[in-house]
């Protein structure tokens, strides 16, 4: 029986719930999410601020009381925000599941969000933004997001100074409004491990109480930027330079082109035996790390095709040229039958490896729920990968991947020109 056949999917109170018992003893892993629509980078920042305060006490228990309960059980509960989605995760022993589910929903639905804790969370977030200023990798990602996306795209990242200003201008009322907005979405939850599905349904229904959120639709995709840019972000004392290339890819995870595009970018730079690693690291020794992939593509909005490499000053120019040559060859000539066959078996095998942990299983199930698909989609993944033909992959490369449209960002300390 496949994974879907062993999973109970049901509605528990307001929650779209999936429960999968596995052979592991004692251990339970929880993953979940709620869709949101922040609508702007500033609102997304406020959402992040609010999410960072969820574990700072509820309306009925203070932060230390909650921490003490969880730590005495060795349990973990966490929340994070990313774009237009808020995620929850937890891990605990079987006997502690009722307590952990109760605390997860208590913090998520009825957080204190009081002034002192909001102030501390704001300071910590501000410090985190400040630390990013001198981080070459982060700054390269920021600049690329701005080159590829319009400011209202969920993947657009403002400059650190703009984020800092937006955070200072935001009010506590804004943070509480972001929480009210969160409660208008419908939560989904996956519980995997040493569990009894019927008991989980009762637990979740009871803990989620009167949450009355609704499914959210796609995010309206804002138009992509039309002209590629070449930009340098100069940062002192960073002799390893981070280089990024990217262009918008107008597909979502729901698009038929997604899987062929994923396979194509994986053949180019998805692992150690992919083309970029083979040509730029193995054969020429120019870099420690290089790769390509689809980034920021969701079921609700499109993202980008990205290539990244890290280069020392003395290899900057040669490394960029060599990488661009490999990318051009990929776009012009497509991939070979042998490459496709190799990567198909890679993905089939790594799929098995990923599903060997409760976290891997929970992540795979949650992904299908976020995409709005039946859980059988998990089981059919190897067959769908196998079904991608060489023609379909190369046709998508020709239609979707265009080196002439790539923006290029270099971040770090540029090599000094050689004097006369």
Partner 1 sequence: MHESFEKTGEKAGITAWKHRGNGLEVLVLPDDSAPVAAFMVTYRVGSRNESAGLTGATHFLEHLMFKGSTHFNTKLGTSVFQTLQKVGAQVNATTWNDRTNYYEVLPSDHLDLAMQVEADRMRGALLLDEDIESERTVILNELDRGENEPIRKLYQSVWSLAYVAHPYHHPTIGWRHDVETVTPDGLRGFYNDYYWPENATVSVIGDTTVEDALTRVDAHFGGIGNAPTPMPQQATREPEQSGARKLEICMRGELGATMLAYKSPSALDPDADALALLASILTRGKSSRLYRSLVDTGVVTSVSAGASRFRDPGLFYVLAMLAPETTHEQVEAEVRDAIEAIAESGVEQSEIDRTLASLRAQQAYLRDGPYAIASQLNEAIAAGDWQLYVDNLERLSKLGSEDVQRAAQTYLVRDRSTVGRFVPTA
Of 369-388, binders to partner 1 (CB under 8 A) are none
Write down the least CB distance from residue 116 to partner 1, Å: 10
Site for partner 1 in 84-103 (CB under 8 A): 91-93
Secondary structure (3-state) at 395: helix
Residues 8, 110, 126, 213: which binds partner 1 (CB under 8 A)? 126
Cβ–Cβ < 8 Å for 163, 267: no
| Contact range with partner 1 by CB under 8 A, out of 72-80, 215-223, 293-301, 402-410 | 72-80
What is the spatial distance between Cα 284 and Cα 276, in angstroms, rounded to a whole number?
11
Residue 288 within binding range of partner 1, rule CB under 8 A: yes
What is the spatial distance between Cα 195 and Cα 185, in angstroms, rounded to a whole number?
26
Residue 169 within binding range of partner 1, rule CB under 8 A: no
Q: Which is nearer to partner 1, 16 or 339 (CB)?
A: 339
Residue 269 within binding range of partner 1, rule CB under 8 A: no
Return the half-sphere exposure (C-beta side, CA atoms, 13 A cut-off) of residue 103.
30
Phi-psi region of 26 (alpha: psi -120 to 50; beta: other; left: phi over 0): left
Q: Which is nearer to partner 1, 123 or 332 (CB)?
A: 123
Residues 110, 120, 184, 216: which binds partner 1 (CB under 8 A)? 120
Q: In Å, what is the CA distance from 98 to each residue of 34, 75, 104, 202?
A: 21, 12, 10, 10
Residue 26 within binding range of partner 1, rule CB under 8 A: yes
Tell me, residue by residue from 389 to 408, as one string, x for binding to partner 1 by CB under 8 A and - for no binding. --------------------
Secondary structure (3-state) at 233: strand
Helix, strand, coil percentages (3-state) for the chain, rounded to 5, are: 50, 20, 30
Residue 336 within binding range of partner 1, rule CB under 8 A: no
Partners of 80 in the β-ladder: 87
Site for partner 1 in 207-226 (CB under 8 A): none
Residues 11, 59, 60, 131: which binds partner 1 (CB under 8 A)? 131
Helix locations, 57-196, DSSP H = 63-73, 97-109, 115-132, 136-148, 160-169, 172-182
Q: Which is nearer to partner 1, 165 or 399 (CB)?
A: 165
Return the half-sphere exposure (C-beta side, CA atoms, 13 A cut-off) of residue 79.
23
Tell me, residue by residue from 352 to 371, as one string, x for binding to partner 1 by CB under 8 A and - for no binding. xx-xxxxxx-----------
Residue 6 within binding range of partner 1, rule CB under 8 A: no
What is the spatial distance between Cα 260 and Cα 395, in angstroms, rounded to a whole number?
9
Residue 347 within binding range of partner 1, rule CB under 8 A: yes
Tell me, residue by residue from 139 to 158, as one string, x for binding to partner 1 by CB under 8 A and - for no binding. --------------------
Residue 287 within binding range of partner 1, rule CB under 8 A: yes
Cβ–Cβ < 8 Å for 56, 156: no
Residues 2, 59, 60, 71: which binds partner 1 (CB under 8 A)? 71
Secondary structure (3-state) at 69: helix
Would you give the end-to-end CA distance of the chain in angstroms? 73
| Contact range with partner 1 by CB under 8 A, out of 65-73, 150-158, 208-216, 256-264 | 65-73
Residues 9, 179, 181, 238: which binds partner 1 (CB under 8 A)? 238
Q: In Å, what is the CA distance from 392 to each residue of 258, 260, 374, 385, 389?
A: 11, 7, 24, 12, 5
| Contact range with partner 1 by CB under 8 A, out of 38-46, 70-78, 196-204, 207-215 | 70-78
| Contact range with partner 1 by CB under 8 A, out of 124-132, 181-189, 206-214, 299-307 | 124-132
What is the spatial distance between Cα 108 and Cα 278, in angstroms, rounded to a whole number?
46
Q: Which is nearer to partner 1, 361 or 396 (CB)?
A: 361
Residue 29 within binding range of partner 1, rule CB under 8 A: yes
Query: Which of 269, 310, 315, 306 shows the shortest CA–CA distance to 289?
Result: 310
| Contact range with partner 1 by CB under 8 A, out of 220-228, 279-287, 364-372, 373-381 | 279-287
């Amino acid at each position: 029986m496949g994974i879907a056949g062993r999973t109970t999917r049901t509605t528990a109170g307001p929650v779209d719930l999936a429960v999968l018992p596995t052979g592991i003893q004692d251990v339970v892993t929880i993953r979940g999410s709620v869709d949101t629509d922040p609508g702007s980078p500033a609102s997304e920042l406020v959402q992040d601020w609010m999410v960072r305060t969820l574990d700072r006490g509820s309306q009925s228990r203070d932060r230390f009381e909650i921490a003490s309960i969880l730590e005495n059980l060795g349990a973990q509960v966490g929340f994070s925000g990313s774009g237009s989605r808020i995620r929850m995760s937890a891990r605990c022993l079987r006997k502690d599941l009722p307590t952990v589910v109760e605390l997860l929903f208590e913090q998520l639905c009825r957080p204190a969000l009081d002034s002192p804790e909001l102030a501390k969370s704001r300071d910590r977030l501000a410090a985190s933004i400040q630390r990013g200023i001198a981080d070459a990798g982060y700054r390269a990602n920021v600049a690329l997001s701005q080159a590829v996306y319009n400011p209202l795209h969920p993947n657009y990242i403002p400059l650190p100074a703009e984020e800092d200003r937006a955070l200072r201008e935001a009010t506590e009322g804004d943070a509480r409004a972001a929480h009210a907005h969160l409660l208008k979405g419908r939560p989904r939850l996956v519980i995997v491990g040493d569990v009894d599905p019927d008991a989980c349904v009762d637990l979740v229904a009871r803990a989620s109480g009167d949450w009355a959120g609704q499914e959210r639709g796609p995010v309206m995709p804002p138009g992509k930027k039309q002209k590629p840019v070449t930009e340098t972000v100069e940062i002192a004392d960073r002799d390893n330079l981070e280089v990024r290339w990217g262009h918008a890819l107008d597909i979502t995870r729901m698009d038929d082109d997604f899987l062929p595009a994923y396979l194509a970018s994986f053949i180019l730079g998805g692992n150690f035996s992919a083309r970029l690693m083979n040509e730029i690291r193995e054969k020429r020794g120019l870099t420690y790390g290089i790769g390509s992939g689809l980034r920021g593509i969701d079921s609700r909005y499109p993202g980008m095709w990205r290539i990244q490499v890290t280069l020392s000053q003395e290899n900057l120019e040669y490394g960029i040229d060599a990488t661009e040559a490999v990318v051009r060859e990929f776009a012009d000539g497509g991939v070979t039958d042998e490459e496709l066959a190799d990567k198909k078996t890679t993905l089939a095998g790594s799929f098995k490896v990923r599903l060997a942990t409760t976290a891997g299983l929970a992540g795979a199930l949650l992904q299908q729920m976020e995409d709005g698909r039946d859980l059988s989609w998990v089981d059919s993944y190897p067959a769908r990968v196998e079904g991608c033909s060489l023609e379909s992959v190369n046709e998508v490369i020709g239609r979707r991947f265009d080196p002439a449209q790539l923006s290029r960002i270099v971040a770090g300390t540029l090599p000094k020109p050689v004097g006369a």
